[in-house]
């Protein structure tokens, strides 16, 4: 049994789970995972057995349970400094935390109208719902600024893949599913996240899942 166990929702649909899992992968830690299918009669009780908030992801490390994706990221960044989950430079770290917090707390319209569905392809659906265009514009702005100003050392927002990228990975999935068109640096960033090895592993597992949720 590995030191860490992460409790996840369906890989096709659970955007918060994807964030926590990508960070755990990037930390380099060995871990086990438990997938709990969402939106079923037994879901709430099954999650509550592992997570006091009744939400996933939840990370177990010995006696400790951490039931929030951002708290999971902070904990792993402290435990595995060599993984570079936050940028090394203090000012860049502050920028990375700001966009991660913006994602953690915001973009409600995008979440509501373009729910993550990695297997689905619905180009154009939801684009005209209230607030969606503004959310997309702001995300494009964040990606452009980060790639242009901070991303020189690699293909991700601050060069190396980190917590900020994990937080925006479900948005990459939504942009693919709902055919949000991007150009230049933002299209390249989307492709870098979509085709990085960890994302490919997660997507393959999502493809293989039997569960379908009518969103």
Ligand X SMILES: N[C@@H](CCC(=O)N[C@@H](CS)C(=O)NCC(=O)O)C(=O)O
Distance of closest approach, residue 54 Cβ to ligand X, in angstroms = 6
d(CA 44, CA 3) in angstroms, rounded, equals: 25
For ligand X, the binding residues in 57-96 under the rule CB under 6 A are 57, 68-70
Q: If binding is defined by CB under 6 A, does position 38 make contact with ligand X?
A: yes
Q: Are 110 and 132 in contact (CB under 8 A)?
A: yes
**Which helix or strand (DSSP H or E) is residue 5 part of?**
strand 4-8
Binding piece for ligand X, criterion CB under 6 A, among 14-22, 149-157, 184-192, 201-209: 14-22
Of 12 and 69, CB closest to ligand X:
69
Distance of closest approach, residue 17 Cβ to ligand X, in angstroms = 6
Q: Which letter does DSSP use for residue 66 in this model?
A: E
Q: If binding is defined by CB under 6 A, does position 173 make contact with ligand X?
A: no
Q: If binding is defined by CB under 6 A, does position 14 make contact with ligand X?
A: yes
Q: Which letter does DSSP use for residue 82 in this model?
A: G
Binding piece for ligand X, criterion CB under 6 A, among 12-20, 137-145, 174-182, 191-199: 12-20
Q: If binding is defined by CB under 6 A, does position 44 make contact with ligand X?
A: yes
Q: If binding is defined by CB under 6 A, does position 15 make contact with ligand X?
A: yes
In the set 6, 7, 56, 176, which binds ligand X (CB under 6 A)?
Answer: 56
Distance of closest approach, residue 184 Cβ to ligand X, in angstroms = 30
Distance of closest approach, residue 22 Cβ to ligand X, in angstroms = 13
Question: CA 180 → CA 122, 132, 190, distances in Å?
Answer: 10, 11, 11
Q: If binding is defined by CB under 6 A, does position 110 make contact with ligand X?
A: no
Q: If binding is defined by CB under 6 A, does position 55 make contact with ligand X?
A: yes
d(CA 27, CA 172) in angstroms, rounded, equals: 21
- 84-93 burial, b if ≥16 CB within 10 A, otherwise e? bbbbeeeebb
Question: CA 152 → CA 31, 87, 145, 174, 198, distances in Å?
Answer: 31, 12, 12, 25, 21
For ligand X, the binding residues in 121-140 under the rule CB under 6 A are none
The HSE-up count of residue 115 (CA atoms within 13 Å, CB side) is 8
Contacting residues toward ligand X, per CB under 6 A = 9, 14-17, 38, 43-44, 47, 55-57, 68-70
């Amino acid at each position: 049994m590995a030191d860490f166990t992460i409790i996840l929702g369906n890989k096709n649909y659970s955007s918060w789970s994807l964030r926590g899992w990508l960070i755990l992968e990037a930390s380099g830690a060995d871990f086990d995972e438990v997938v709990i299918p969402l939106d079923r009669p037994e879901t709430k009780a099954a999650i509550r057995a592992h997570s006091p908030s009744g939400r996933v992801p939840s990370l177990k490390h010995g006696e400790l349970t951490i039931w929030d994706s951002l708290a999971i990221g902070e904990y792993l960044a402290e435990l595995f400094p060599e993984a570079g989950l936050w940028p090394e430079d203090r000012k860049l770290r502050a920028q990375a935390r700001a966009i991660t917090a913006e994602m953690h707390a915001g973009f409600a319209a995008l979440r509501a109208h373009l729910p993550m569905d990695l297997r689905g392809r619905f180009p154009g659906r939801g684009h005209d719902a209230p607030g969606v265009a503004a959310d997309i514009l702001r995300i494009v702005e964040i990606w452009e600024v980060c790639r242009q100003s901070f991303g020189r050392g690699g293909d991700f927002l601050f060069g190396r893949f980190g917590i900020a990228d994990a937080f925006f990975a479900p948005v990459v999935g939504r942009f693919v599913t709902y055919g949000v068109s991007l150009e230049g640096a933002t299209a390249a960033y989307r492709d870098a996240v979509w085709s990085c090895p960890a994302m490919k592993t997660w997507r393959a597992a999502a493809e293989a899942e039997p569960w379908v949720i009518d969103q």
